[in-house]
Every structure is written in structure tokens, then in C-alpha cells.
Structure 1
């Protein structure tokens, strides 16, 4: 069996680190709204991959996280008058219903960000101890990208290509540095930590969850396959890989797979672009099996 690795940009023979077993991690939804067809596309691609691997006789451990704390969730809660917990629960349940309707199998494990704060704090502490992270005056903690010799090796970007993609903070050592922990000094949603009250950075979540829940054995890679949408290769997966590489003595994933987008008029379907429509609405017009066939009828990278 061969897998097209989207980092190496070539087909590689698939050889899992543990014979007969596969560890697969896919970035899941941020639950602040209903799922659109773009979410369904990614879920279906990796559902199919899982089924193929199981059909080949592998025992597959498939983890897909839920981001249940995020600025978008907080904003939705403020707009609706509900708590962030209520918002996350409402849209997590809706996501599960939509995925079941199009035949997506539930993951082996579905960790939530809010239940993994201690794992994230543990990784932050390791990065601080090893000199890969630093704290600024307001209590925020940043990853120091200049200390990682492998940074940008995943996306093959130049060091000045990503300046505009990150927030501008005057105390950051380098424009590309990204937040590991965001300190909270008011009454907004926060979590207790050894670093004070705050919220974790989004990129930290998956790295910490993989290390805590999915990694099996002392291997060169934490997991066999890491998947997600093509838009996650940079900066999300780049930053994930950096965190894992610098906090441990291994790389994050042996194989990287990224699915293409559902497009509308030549543009990626996205809530932010205002050109998306909800899966639940499509399901009112078409059977889930029809939508599954439609979304899988194009190549997964297309």
C-alpha cells in the first residue's frame, strides 16, 4: 500500500511503526456553528482512509479532536447569551448527528480541548525548560520559532512568507512566533494553570493530545498518519510539528495527508467567505448516502 505524503510530495510505501497497527490523528471541528460541506469532505476522506486500512487488516486507532474553547466559541456565547459550554455541547451534538447521517464512523477517541488543559500545560513547561518558549510582560507565552532548526520544513516556506499570518505583538522576539498560552486578566473564560489564568493557543491542542493519548511506543514519530484539510498545513500543522519536535526527542507524524476543498465558483467553501451552506440543509434535500457519494466522487486531494 502506498500513501501520497503531502509534505514530501510523493507516494511512499506505507509501513506503520507498530506491525499490524495504525495510529491516525485528524484535526476535528471547532464547535461554534453547524458543519458545512467542507467539514463533511474532510471527515469523509479520512473515514474512507480508515475503512481502507481496516480492510487491509490493520487495527486502526483513530483520534479526532474537538476544539471546544476558542475565540469564535466565546464570541458566539456572548452573542447568544449562552455559556461556552452550552455552545460547544450544542454544536458537538449537531456535528455527530451530521457525520452519522453521511456514514462517518465515530473515532476511537475524541478528546476535547477543555479536558486536556493539563496535557497542554505539560508541553508548555517542557518547551520553557528547553529554551523553546518565553513569557512576555502580560503573561502570554510564545514559541520561539528561531530555536527550531526544522521550522518551515513541513510547508517549505521561506522565513519571511508567514509574517502577515500571525498577530503582531511588540514583545515577540520574532514575527513568526506564535502563542502557546494567552493570559487572561479579566472575568472572561479562562483556566487555572501553573502559568496563571488563561487559555491555550490553538496550535498547542493537537500536539499535546497526540502526545498524551495517541503516541504508542518509543518510535521516531509520535503517530503514523496526521490528516486534515489542505489549509491546515500552514500554519497549524507546521506549528504542531515544531512543538512536538522541540518538546520531545521525536517527530510528530511519519506520513502527512491533506484533503482538498469543496469549492463554490472556484473559491474554497468557507464560513468567513460567506459562500458555505450547512450539511444539515443539504441533508433535507438529499439522502446522506447520496451526499457521501458526491463528496467522494472527486480525488481526496482535489
Structure 2
């Protein structure tokens, strides 16, 4: 049987036998190739983003799940969603084989624990989306997660780095990021991990755009819960509403820190009208601003 790409050895001088500049160049080359591999699956990534946006729009949940290095990629993406796009934290769930590590040790045997997947996804329901990652596409824990998610009526998005693998075959949206063999054979934290990270970044960012949480290239649904982000939110309101910093700050105070609503308040409407407009236009700021402008001109 043909060896999976993620387990193949590169037919060249071993990286540990090369000079530091050559070794670094080889590592960087495979990272670049991993990013390029994502280009071939943009359409599939967009389909995944549509499913994710639909789930959040209807109040359902996103569950990221994986083992090992793939789990770390999933964890990084999932944890960014509430802060960056204001996705309710209770709508984002993360499951790693053996649990999220609290030290530098991540047990390897837990990826074979298929039984743990049923427990992890016992609360998944129709309308939810389960995002499962596995570099090999054959990890028992990941396969069991996909099977359990589908059995519970959820949509399954799968990201793997080997084509025609069981995980991809089970998915509603299969995303094969066909990364090259690893410079350090089998170490999927390298090219495979980079490909997964980029694919997840694209998918969740496209989801944020579809939900209306990005406007003029800015994070208009950012959760401003520290000094840096408070200043960022003030800057966003200032730029889009074209007002001074004090006016932007006052608008944010009137809207409990919601940048979208604050922009509308800074443009002259009440917080109640701002909330009503955002509900009417499904959270998209552009149509709300057009409606305000139209009302001014009538």
C-alpha cells in the first residue's frame, strides 16, 4: 500500500546533515509549499465558512476537535473567535484527545481512544457544525468524532493532509490540504500543521465576514476587554463614523462597548435604533449606514 504523504521521507540529504542555512531554507520551503497547498481548496474552505456562519446565525454551536498537533491548531483558531469576531463563547467548543494540555506534555496514546469521541460530542445537535482535523486522515479519535457528529445530526467539516482518506470520505465538507512530505519525516507539526492553521484561519475569517463582523477591513464586532482593544474599538468607531475620539468613546459607553452599535450612535441615532437596525440587517453594518443616510435625506 502507498505510504501516506505525511509519512514519506524526502529523497535528499537529511536535514540534520545540512548546514544551518540550508536546513532553515528546507524547512521554510516546505512551509511555503504548505501555504500554497491551501490555494487548491479555497472553494471547499468557503463552503465550510458558509456552514459555520449559518450555525452561528441560528444560535447553534461550532465544535473543534482533534488529537495531537492538529488539536493545537484547532485550539488556536477556536479560542480567537470570541475576541476577534464577538462569537458567543458558549457557541464555541474545543475537544482534544486527552484534554487540552496544561504542561509541555501531550500524551500520544489518547489519539487511539475512539470511545472518548462519543462522550466529547454527546451534546452536539442538528444545526451544529463539527470541525475535525487529522493530518493522516486516519486517526481513530478523529474518525470517531466525525462519525459521532454525523450521528447526532451535525454537519462535519474535515481537514486532512492526505487525499482519499476515511476522515475526508465521512465529511460533509472535506478539505484536503495536500502538503508535501515533512523535512523531518512524520513531524506533522511542521508543513501539515501550517497548512491546517492557514486553512482554519481562512475559514473562520470568511465566516466572520459572512456574519458582518468585518467592515472596511476592520473588526467591527471585536470584544474590547483590555486597554489595547478598547483603543482599537475607539479607533474603529472614529474611522468609520468620522468622529472625534471623545465622541467615539461616548458612543461605545452608550452601547456597552459594541463597536457596530457605537458607530451608528456616533452617526446620530439612539442606541435603541442602532440595535433595531442591526437586527433588521442581520448584523451587517453597511446596510445600516445606508438606511441612516437615506433617512437623513428624506
Measured against the shorter chain, the TM-score band is under 0.3
Bigger share in strand: 1
Which of structures 1 and 2 has the bigger CA Rg? 2
TM-score by length of 2: 0.28
Provide the TM-score with structure 1 as the length reference: 0.27
Identify, as 1 or 2, the structure richer in helix: 2
